[in-house]
Chain A
């Protein structure tokens, strides 16, 4: 082929748009023709600009939530009608489930179950072994329901898919006719029977059915410094009278299983969480044994530590036109890569150092919460049935290194000032939904008209020939701040570029933790509109002294400096010019200009002056440095 390929042919070839024959022909041509190869590269490069639009649109969490809500609300009625044929079966299943719950300690034999992913609690009575076979019809109902539940679980370990706790019927069927509804909504077969002294056996069975009590309320306390978050969540569990097994799963999350803690919020004298077991062979799940003298819904608080949640602070300041005040906004960005979605979570952030013995993420990935189940250690032992047992009080006391109610202990870290504690706690108002793999920026505070002082500094030894701009303010009431310490973060400052309020970037810096009452100076980088030009006008030596041999042993060097300060800004500028002399033996005489000076330290003098807008100011000084024995002369002076 003699002619070159057209752009269209090259594009078709590149994007697999040509038919096979054309494509082969183009390939053959390209192998021989360098010009076409080059053109193809050019086109590919040009079209690669399309990449800048890839993923440039993100759906906000609010939009997603609204969309989900809208779609579900709009279709509620329709779905109900659509599923009417199911209702009978579902209702039957629920009734049978209720029946199961009511059988007091039927199973001594019931066990809890598991879900393959995400932290969640699950309850389900499970009959032991091959006991009485139910009638076929009942089996069908049970299997149908079980299959449904299993699939719901398989989605994402959803706690909230199943609503409040209900028992899943599998093989519960006896005594059904005699049961009646209790005020708690569960059933009892009449007379309260005695509770077995021994808890039921909980085999390490991997195949279970579950019900998923949804999370009612969740609170996150994020200790940023240590990649540690305390999660406190409340779930309503429906207990039956007697022994209950409760399973907690944390697959694919970064939860520290050694930190799990469960306690009832009501009926504390009648409901007791007795032990936590980690069944062998089964990864990332634990089972609590709960002894209950009541039956019905009971609120529980579940607490644990997780890794993967973090936050950081950043600030945005907008200077007023005269640059005497600043509008300051503080933001907190919370990132969630913990593997778990937290919906409507109350979020609290801890500023300060936390000492951790083990990395939480490491603990989360252990096969067994405390190592191999066949080893007995300080924290637990092997039960008769081969399960790894954990005593609640041991876990809490030893892992967290505190005694008593650890939740209360954590509460005590509530807002405390620097000096009293190394912690400070920020609470974000309301609740936030923070899905896994999402980051969320939240406004932490906003202050209007914060008085600030703008100052330029020139110091060749520190910044070369650049003039650096500083902004100072204090975290106190006078500066309309001071309600809380300000955590570490990045500050970016903008100025108003014109009357219309358009903004220009002034500069940014990182700030360290600013306690209440403390003053802070923000270094905003180069002040491009302010220039300092030192010029050496004259150098001479004088007052030479000689030793007995007639050699020079002392002299004074006198230098005359002219410093020109140019302010191209539309506002007056206060500036500090620091001059270093490399010797402690010096004296200085102002020789012109309005600058005042003071000795900054042994080897430096600092000049201060204010330069009006768009003006240049010049000041001069004569510097005398003393050398050799002349240094003594200065000391005598």
Chain B
């Protein structure tokens, strides 16, 4: 168990379909999370998700053999940028649209019906907190947001983030620093106090 990303890519290049499947499963949540936070829209994120892994599949031979995660997020970032360009050409999307990157893609009720769901008041509070944090994160400029998501949520090293975003480590640190400073101002105090 626990084959390295590099082994999986090598196996994929040799024609093993399960290797690609494993990669998609391994990074599915991370990539979708990144795309969701970048687009603020679950449907768009899912489209870009498919496009990202399609490119991974076809560009696997260009992978240089190390740092798969940063390579993957480089592709995801490019796909996001391309997607944004396409959308810009096609239609102007309202900036006020609600973020719908909740995990529940189906019926909200069904999620609440889940046995593991917290009691309704707790759940409500948790959703409210998430919404505030999500809004704060999504209000960041694109570069800072991408940096924050990759470094903080995807736990890429600053060097890997720099590779993924095609900039220097210094630039990454600057973006990260600004993003956190902005968030420190925008996140309400009460959230931090509530676990």
Binding site for B on A (CB under 8 A): 7-8, 11-12, 15, 17, 42-43, 45-50, 52-60, 63-64, 66-68, 70-72, 74-75, 78-79, 82-83, 117, 148, 151-152, 154-156, 158, 160-161, 252, 312, 314-316, 318, 329, 331, 333, 435, 441, 489-490, 492, 494, 503, 505
CA distance A117 to B158 in the complex (A): 35
Q: Does B19 contact A (CB under 8 A)?
A: yes
CA distance A152 to B14 in the complex (A): 9
List chain A residues, Cβ under 8 A from B7: 154-155
**In the complex the two chains form, is A47's CB within 8 Å of B110's CB?**
no
In the complex, per-residue mask of B94-125: 1 if CB is within 8 Å of any chain A CB, else 0? 00000001110100011011110000100000
Using CB atoms, name the residue of chain B closest to A83.
Answer: B15
**In the complex the two chains form, is A11's CB within 8 Å of B133's CB?**
no
**In the complex the two chains form, is B130's CB within 8 Å of A53's CB?**
yes
9 A-B pairs closest in CB distance: A59-B28, A316-B113, A71-B57, A49-B191, A158-B18, A57-B33, A46-B192, A45-B192, A59-B32
Q: Does B20 contact A (CB under 8 A)?
A: yes
CA distance A350 to B135 in the complex (A): 45
Of B113, B183, B187, most A-chain CB atoms within 10 Å: B113
List chain B residues, Cβ under 8 A from A490: 115
A30 to chain B, nearest CB (A): 17
Which of B19, B54, B114, B181 has a CB less than 8 Å from the CB of A11? B181
Given contacts A64-B24, A252-B1, A316-B110, contact A75 B57 (CB under 8 A): yes
Given contacts A57-B29, A57-B36, contact A72 B11 (CB under 8 A): no
List chain A residues, Cβ under 8 A from B49: 59, 63, 67
Main secondary structure of the interface of B (DSSP, over half): helix
Q: Does B87 contact A (CB under 8 A)?
A: no
List chain A residues, Cβ under 8 A from B58: 71, 74-75, 78
Given contacts A58-B29, A117-B1, A505-B120, contact A155 B22 (CB under 8 A): yes
Q: B45-91: which have CB < 8 Å to A?
A: 45-46, 49-50, 53-54, 56-58, 61
List chain B residues, Cβ under 8 A from A71: 20, 24, 50, 53-54, 56-58
Which of A8, A55, A156 has a CB less than 8 Å from the CB of B33? A55
**In the complex the two chains form, is B17's CB within 8 Å of A72's CB?**
yes
Using CB atoms, name the residue of chain A closest to B180.
Answer: A11
**In the complex the two chains form, is B177's CB within 8 Å of A11's CB?**
yes
Q: Does B44 contact A (CB under 8 A)?
A: no
List chain A residues, Cβ under 8 A from B159: none
**In the complex the two chains form, is A53's CB within 8 Å of B20's CB?**
no
**In the complex the two chains form, is A333's CB within 8 Å of B115's CB?**
yes
**In the complex the two chains form, is A158's CB within 8 Å of B109's CB?**
no
Using CB atoms, name the residue of chain B closest to A12.
Answer: B177
**In the complex the two chains form, is B189's CB within 8 Å of A54's CB?**
no
Which of B16, B189, B192 has a CB less than 8 Å from the CB of A155? B16
Given contacts A63-B32, A78-B58, contact A52 B133 (CB under 8 A): yes
Q: B2-28: which have CB < 8 Å to A?
A: 3, 7-8, 10-11, 14-22, 24-25, 28
CA distance A312 to B105 in the complex (A): 22
What would 21 A/B residue contacts be, using CB atoms closer than 8 Å?
A7-B184, A8-B177, A11-B177, A50-B183, A53-B137, A53-B153, A59-B49, A64-B24, A68-B20, A68-B21, A70-B53, A74-B57, A75-B54, A75-B57, A117-B1, A152-B11, A152-B14, A155-B3, A161-B17, A441-B114, A494-B109
CA distance A155 to B17 in the complex (A): 10
Q: Does B164 contact A (CB under 8 A)?
A: no
A415 to chain B, nearest CB (A): 25
List chain B residues, Cβ under 8 A from A151: 10-11, 14, 16
Given contacts A75-B57, A148-B14, contact A492 B113 (CB under 8 A): yes
**In the complex the two chains form, is A57's CB within 8 Å of B14's CB?**
no
**In the complex the two chains form, is A161's CB within 8 Å of B16's CB?**
yes
List chain A residues, Cβ under 8 A from B53: 67-68, 70-71
CA distance A154 to B126 in the complex (A): 42
Using CB atoms, name the residue of chain A closest to B131.
Answer: A52
List chain A residues, Cβ under 8 A from B193: 45
**In the complex the two chains form, is A52's CB within 8 Å of B176's CB?**
no
Given contacts A59-B28, A70-B54, A148-B14, contact A52 B115 (CB under 8 A): no
Using CB atoms, name the residue of chain A closest to B46.
Answer: A63
**In the complex the two chains form, is B20's CB within 8 Å of A50's CB?**
no
CA distance A117 to B22 in the complex (A): 15
**In the complex the two chains form, is A314's CB within 8 Å of B181's CB?**
no
**In the complex the two chains form, is A55's CB within 8 Å of B16's CB?**
no
A312 to chain B, nearest CB (A): 7
List chain B residues, Cβ under 8 A from A45: 192-193
**In the complex the two chains form, is B103's CB within 8 Å of A57's CB?**
yes
CA distance A154 to B19 in the complex (A): 10
A437 to chain B, nearest CB (A): 9
CA distance A331 to B132 in the complex (A): 32
Extra inter-chain contacts (7) besides given A46-B187, A494-B109, CB under 8 Å: A11-B184, A15-B176, A45-B193, A63-B49, A151-B10, A161-B16, A161-B18
List chain A residues, Cβ under 8 A from B25: 64, 435
CA distance A155 to B153 in the complex (A): 27
CA distance A477 to B55 in the complex (A): 54
B68 to chain A, nearest CB (A): 15
Given contacts A15-B176, A57-B36, contact A49 B129 (CB under 8 A): yes
Using CB atoms, name the residue of chain B closest to A6.
Answer: B181
Using CB atoms, name the residue of chain B closest to A436.
Answer: B25
List chain A residues, Cβ under 8 A from B105: 60
Using CB atoms, name the residue of chain A closest to B57.
Answer: A71
List chain B residues, Cβ under 8 A from A49: 129, 132-133, 187, 191-192
List chain A residues, Cβ under 8 A from B54: 67, 70-71, 74-75
Which of A8, A52, A78 has a CB less than 8 Å from the CB of B129? A52
Of A47, A154, A315, most B-chain CB atoms within 10 Å: A47
CA distance A45 to B187 in the complex (A): 11
**In the complex the two chains form, is B183's CB within 8 Å of A47's CB?**
yes
CA distance A59 to B25 in the complex (A): 9
B173 to chain A, nearest CB (A): 5
A407 to chain B, nearest CB (A): 29
Using CB atoms, name the residue of chain A closest to B148.
Answer: A50
